[in-house]
């Protein structure tokens, strides 16, 4: 004798609700990424040519190296965040009339190295050697965010 199905079990219903919640969060994250990236690229487009080229290359490096970071702007500068906190940012020299552009890392990057370490780097050009150093710093900053801090 065949038994009549009474629908989904409580566990199945809970799993479906959880998946629906996950899909909503994924859609929201995708929209945040797209909106943030559009805003970032608009700010980059406003930069003088030399800074724009540098910012575009940095954007390519960061998005390839750390796709989990969300692109956004921070005080009108290109930035990349995790969990709502800016991890790193690019400040063009023209922003505040500085001598050189800067790649900066905030506390959430946790680049700690002994009793003293750099959190900002002057940039005059992006050679292959400099790009390798930036890639290593971005990787370290992303790893630091995945390790629980005490």
Cα atoms found within 13 Å of the Cα of residue 52, Cβ hemisphere only? 9
User: Which helix (H) or strand (E) element contains residue 106?
Assistant: none
**So what's the pLDDT on residue 150?**
37
Tens digit of pLDDT for each residue in 49-91?
999 999 999 999 999 999 999 999 999 999 999 988 999 999 9
CA pair distance 145, 55, nearest whole angstrom: 23
**Helices (H) and strands (E) in the chain — how many of each?**
3, 5
Residue by residue, DSSP assigns 5-63 as: P----HHHHHHHHHHHHHHHHHHHHHHHHHHHHHHHHHHHHTS-HHHHHHHHHHHHHHH
pLDDT of residue 148: 41
The pLDDT tens digits for 3-49 are 666 788 888 888 888 778 766 766 777 788 889 999 999 999 999 99
pLDDT digits (tens, 9 = 90+) for 107-148: 999 899 899 999 999 999 999 999 999 999 999 999 876 654
Q: What is the pTM of this model?
A: 0.80
Residues in CB range of 7: below 8 A, 6 or more apart: none
Element at 86 (helix H, strand E): strand 85-91
39 touches 72 (CB < 8 A): yes
């Amino acid at each position: 004798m065949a038994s009549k199905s009474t629908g989904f079990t409580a566990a199945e219903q809970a799993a479906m609700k959880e998946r629906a919640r996950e899909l909503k969060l994924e859609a929201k994250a995708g929209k945040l990424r797209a909106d943030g990236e559009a805003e970032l690229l608009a700010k980059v487009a406003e930069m003088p040519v030399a800074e724009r080229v540098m910012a575009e290359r940095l954007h390519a490096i960061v998005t390839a190296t750390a796709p989990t970071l969300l692109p956004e702007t921070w005080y009108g500068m290109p930035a990349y965040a995790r969990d709502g906190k800016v991890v790193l940012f690019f400040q063009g020299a023209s922003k505040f009339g500085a001598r050189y552009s800067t790649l900066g890392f905030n506390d959430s990057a946790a680049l700690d190295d002994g009793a003293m370490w750099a959190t900002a780097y002057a940039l005059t050009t992006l050679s292959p050697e400099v790009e390798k150093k930036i890639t290593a710093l971005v990787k370290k900053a992303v790893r630091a965010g995945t390790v629980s801090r005490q």
